Structure 1
């Protein structure tokens, strides 16, 4: 398993969390070797902790610590490389010759039965001819082309012109590198569809992220009151937009019906645009908190009013796991079977202002509806979205590739 992102501690981000969870699951059942890099800020304790979990670790220093007299990195960062070779400079900038030499030797010696890349940034190490020697799989944690495509279509960033220039190059790049593998895995159905639209010869499988349920216990009390919480990293553009939309457009209208309602914006690194929302009566901006679990357990309703992001949200999974009634947008609920014919209602769906007011109002007033969502939400996560279930799906695919 190749992961240029050091996967420990698994609380640093979704990439680390997914990689570490799959590592530990597969390592219990198979002879697994991890090839990874440690970043400059890593501490020795984290390296030792990873080795305790995964015995066969080959860990290289980050590129910035490697002597590189060839000037390769400087050349790689030039946009001309992107046009000619198709690989984005930011991936080339992390390229390690030492990792490449290690992998070349291992594959040539026939040491391994299967190779996986955890994240598209690792595809740079995989040579096309390796397909003939052993099954190769890429687990795309996030589609580069899909991300830029969404940002361009929704004008989610100020780099619109640059994104438009890069978009066809990224499309070509993603199609090209996927062709090196026997199997492609995505974490969302949206990205699965995007990659299938590239007319790949390689099959694309959707395997969602999961949760460690021991860290997200279901709350024991059906909280009444009128307490709303929105949890997320409050420096991310999507969360900033969501916080301001809900605070400035939804919450004032909600308070006209429910004057005692409160809103807590919980998350690390709140941007200035989020901090100023704390000046609005009955809105609190907490910044980093010791435990988001407590805020979910105390809340009457959790909202995820995301308007411009793709992929299954870990925060949605966490909310459902704790049994907290959830009201979220289509983006916030992407890929989750929470409603529809024959599907137990596990969350309320809302996109416009009036839809949020209606859904939250129902949950404020109807304890039985809150309890229904609480029970169904937890059951959904227990059945489909644990890391154990994700690991099972991943393992089944790997076994199929080697059979």
Structure 2
């Protein structure tokens, strides 16, 4: 396929990478956009929901070719069967004969300079014989096995047993990557250190998350700043746990001292447990919105009380990019670059949350100072182009783009749920 002589890169993604409105989609889309300036990208992805034509068209602007493989309704049957056969739930849930067929066909037609997988769950597609000889890079993002161990520690049997089993098996899969992948990448120094303990014979390369500094930028709220906001997918277990803990443990005292203060929970598909939080005085469960920026802009404080967290949190970066004062748990801040210099306040105990959030609500000048410092911090340390630049050498691409590169200045949809 003609493409001005640029190198061909296969990018296999575990989920539809558009619109960039949640964690894994945000990273995958920005990786795609970055690579499109340096290579002819062949994008194949799994889809757990129908893919609108507009989505395919938007992705096609960055790609040499695009193909989606629907997972279908038997996904969780395959996951259970995989578990019963001694493999991981993850491998079964992301197994797709159609995706394998697409990759095989492309491998027969195209000699790829390199191949990239967006997660361990799709790494196996890079081992198909038709891709033999093409260097493979696996973007783990997080050492996902640890997430399952964390789930096990926070659960009761029989769920804890299943989570523990998945963690052990997924860890073996992660350890096996060193035997065949050119490189493994993760999102933070903390994840790289964990990977070095999991797989002492291999090194993980750190490619941090960035933030869209044009989209998320400070604005003046029409009605002024007030209250707190928590943003995140409200059907995702770590976010559900964080919202419930904060509303039950820390928020009642914050609200008792300042009865006029409101906490808004913003994000897609609130679980039943999250919806019940609307009965808590001062808590508003907003749910899914087309654009989170007005909710961030109007809040005085952005809170992120995650207790189960891996890697780096987009919601922290986005709030800082908008010039918001951020209070977060140690887990939510662990993935930041230059963590010791990050202008975000850390709270661990209930008492710390109550005091730190309360003080910020009462001190607008301190909020503004923290917000301005946060914006400068992400501009310096979490610019996407800077963050993703290690892919140039790992994938064998020319730094700074190539002749015939696609124009990356394509508008990203304004809705961020």
Give the 5 Å matches for 1:127-146. 127=127, 133-146=133-146
| CA deviation after TM superposition for structure 1 residue 303, in Å | 0.9
The 4+ residue runs of structure 1 with deviation greater than 6 A are: 73-76, 128-132, 221-225
Aligned to 1:25: 34
Partner Cα separation in structure 1 for residue 142 and residue 159 of structure 2: 19
Partner Cα separation in structure 1 for residue 46 and residue 155 of structure 2: 34
Alignment match of 2:389 (pick from 383, 388, 392): 392
Partner Cα separation in structure 1 for residue 362 and residue 231 of structure 2: 23
Alignment match of 1:9 (pick from 9, 13, 18): 18
| Change in CA separation of 1:337 and 1:24 when aligned onto 2, cut-off 3 Å | closer
CA displacement 1:228-253 (0-9 Å, x = unmatched): 12222222222222222222221222
Alignment match of 2:104 (pick from 87, 101, 105): 101
Partner Cα separation in structure 1 for residue 71 and residue 257 of structure 2: 57
Aligned to 2:93: 90
Does the CA contact (< 8 Å) of 2:83 and 2:89 recur in 1? no
Partner Cα separation in structure 2 for residue 53 and residue 196 of structure 1: 34
Q: What is the number of equivalent residue pairs in this alignment?
A: 387
Which residues of structure 1 form unaligned runs of 5+?
66-72
Aligned to 1:265: 265
| CA deviation after TM superposition for structure 1 residue 159, in Å | 1.3
| Change in CA separation of 1:36 and 1:273 when aligned onto 2, cut-off 3 Å | closer
Is 1:285 the counterpart of 2:289? The answer is no
TM-score by length of 1: 0.84
Aligned to 1:112: 112
| Change in CA separation of 1:4 and 1:283 when aligned onto 2, cut-off 3 Å | closer
Which residues of structure 2 form unaligned runs of 5+?
1-9, 400-417
Does the CA contact (< 8 Å) of 1:225 and 1:364 recur in 2? no
| Change in CA separation of 1:33 and 1:397 when aligned onto 2, cut-off 3 Å | same
Partner Cα separation in structure 2 for residue 253 and residue 39 of structure 1: 41
What SS is found at the alignment partner of 2:54?
helix
Partner Cα separation in structure 2 for residue 230 and residue 47 of structure 1: 31
Partner Cα separation in structure 2 for residue 379 and residue 327 of structure 1: 17
Aligned to 1:377: 374
Does the CA contact (< 8 Å) of 1:181 and 1:202 recur in 2? no
Does the CA contact (< 8 Å) of 2:79 and 2:93 recur in 1? no
Aligned to 1:366: 363
Aligned to 1:57: 65
| CA deviation after TM superposition for structure 1 residue 309, in Å | 2.0
CA displacement 1:187-239 (0-9 Å, x = unmatched): 23333222211235332111111221221121346997651122222222222
Does the CA contact (< 8 Å) of 1:190 and 1:310 recur in 2? no
Aligned to 1:305: 305
What SS is found at the alignment partner of 1:265?
strand
What SS is found at the alignment partner of 1:285?
strand
Partner Cα separation in structure 1 for residue 172 and residue 252 of structure 2: 46
Structure with larger RCO (C-alpha < 8 A, sep 6+): 2
| CA deviation after TM superposition for structure 1 residue 94, in Å | 5.7
Aligned to 1:69: none
Give the 5 Å matches for 1:162-201. 162-201=162-201
| CA deviation after TM superposition for structure 1 residue 37, in Å | 4.9
| Change in CA separation of 1:131 and 1:47 when aligned onto 2, cut-off 3 Å | closer
| CA deviation after TM superposition for structure 1 residue 128, in Å | 8.8
Once superposed, what is the RMSD of the aligned Cα atoms? 3.3
Aligned to 1:349: 346
Partner Cα separation in structure 2 for residue 339 and residue 176 of structure 1: 30
What SS is found at the alignment partner of 2:67?
strand
